Structure formats: C-alpha cells, structure tokens
C-alpha cells in the first residue's frame, strides 16, 4: 500500500520564489493570438525576457519521464512554437528552456502524479493527484491542470516558498481564480484588458 501523500500546504505569503508560464503567454508574445493588441504582445514578451534573466526566480516545469521532452509542459510549448527556427520572443523563450532544461539553477522540474489511467492521444495525462479536489474545479480545462499541479507540487516540496502561474487573459483561470486561491495557487494576469473577451489567449 502506497504511503499517504503529504498534506497540501497553502502558498507562503510574499513575493513568489518561482514562476509557471502558461502556454498562452508564448502564443501572445509570438503574435499568434489575433485578439491580442500591441500592449498585450509587449507585456508577454517582456515577461518572458524577465524569466530568462531570473527576475522571477526559478521557472517551473513538470517532471515527466514519459514525455518526449521529459516535461509535458515543454512538449506543449514546442508544439506551439518554433524554438530552433523562429525568432519571435516566444520561440526564443522555448529555445532558452531547451538549452537550460537540466540547469537547476534556473529551471526546476516538479514531480507530479497522474490521476487514473486516462491519457490524451499524445500520451499526456488528463489529471493529476496534486490538482485540488474542489467541486468548483470539476470542469477545469484538462490541458491546464498540469500547470496547477506543478504549482501545488512546488508547495509540497517547498512549503516555505511559493510559485505564481502567469496568464495572459484565460477565461478558464479567471473563472477558477477563487477556488485556486483557496487551494493556495497564486495567479497573475498580464493583460486582462488587452485581449478581447471573445478571444481569450489561444487555448493550448
């Protein structure tokens, strides 16, 4: 019988020590969201540059040995960008990750545990044990659960530290914000007023 998992802890107060970048930031920075104006593109581009310069602490990925890139988050990033041939800010950011993925001074991979056996066609799990079991999150986008699971997993590993998930303007995260806050998950929206409501940042 497996030992019980450590209790989930609330995120530490104060400035976050690490950051998780939702794929929509990369899409907006690359100009791949037609509903994003120049201000949104600029904000997302500057955010990616700040992460590379270490201004937000560590960048967090998931530790997924069964993924083609040892991280389902990184696999999603690569599927939505052109890291080796592209020159847009999102492309350069993903290239930087690939070059530094195993440098734990800048990037930390967080182990997260698949919940059940259900998988996408890509092999990616659709749910994780670290994802909060709150009825208000029952319909939360399956593709975004890995970001939340990483934030919660970081809380377990580093109870005195905290991470923030950075979003452009994702309706799924906006709706779930109260429940995620209750679970200790911090969110930051870069451009909630710079992307048309009808076209929140492109879904990954």
Q: Which of 11-15, 136-140, 155-159, 184-188 has the lowest mean pLDDT?
A: 11-15
Q: Which pLDDT value is given to residue 34?
A: 84
Are 59 and 108 spatial neighbours (Cβ–Cβ below 8 Å)?
A: yes
Are 24 and 201 spatial neighbours (Cβ–Cβ below 8 Å)?
A: yes
Are 145 and 131 spatial neighbours (Cβ–Cβ below 8 Å)?
A: yes
Q: Which pLDDT value is given to residue 169?
A: 77
Q: How far is CA 151 from the centre of its chain?
A: 8
**Between residues 12 and 109, the one the model is more confident about:** 109
Question: What is the residue-averaged pLDDT of the chain?
Answer: 89
Half-sphere exposure of 45 (CA within 13 A, CB side): 14
Using DSSP's 3-state secondary structure scheme, residue 171 falls into helix
* In the chain, % of residues over pLDDT 70: 88
What is the side-by-side strand order in the sheet with 18-21? 107-111, 58-63, 18-21, 163-167, 186-189
Is residue 198 over pLDDT 50?
no
pLDDT band at 77 (very low <50, low <70, confident <90, very high): very high
Domain boundaries in the chain?
A: 18-192
């Amino acid at each position: 019988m497996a030992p019980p998992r450590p209790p989930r802890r609330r995120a530490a107060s104060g400035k976050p020590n690490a950051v998780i970048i939702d794929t929509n930031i990369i899409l907006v920075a690359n100009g791949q969201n037609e509903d994003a104006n120049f201000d949104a593109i600029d904000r997302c581009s500057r955010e990616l540059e700040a992460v590379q310069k270490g201004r937000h602490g560590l960048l967090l990925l998931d530790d997924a040995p069964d993924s083609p890139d040892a991280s389902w988050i990184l696999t999603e990033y690569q599927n939505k960008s052109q890291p080796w041939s592209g020159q847009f800010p999102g492309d350069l950011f993903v290239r930087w990750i690939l070059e530094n993925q195993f440098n734990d001074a800048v990037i930390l991979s967080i182990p997260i545990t698949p919940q059940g056996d259900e998988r996408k066609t890509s092999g990616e799990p659709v749910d994780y044990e670290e994802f909060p079991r709150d009825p208000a999150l029952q319909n939360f986008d399956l593709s975004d659960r890995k970001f939340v699971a990483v934030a919660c997993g970081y809380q377990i590993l580093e109870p005195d530290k905290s991470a923030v998930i950075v979003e452009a303007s994702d309706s799924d995260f906006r709706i779930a914000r109260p429940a995620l806050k209750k679970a200790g998950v911090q969110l930051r929206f870069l451009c909630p007023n710079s992307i048309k409501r009808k076209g929140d940042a492109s879904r990954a």
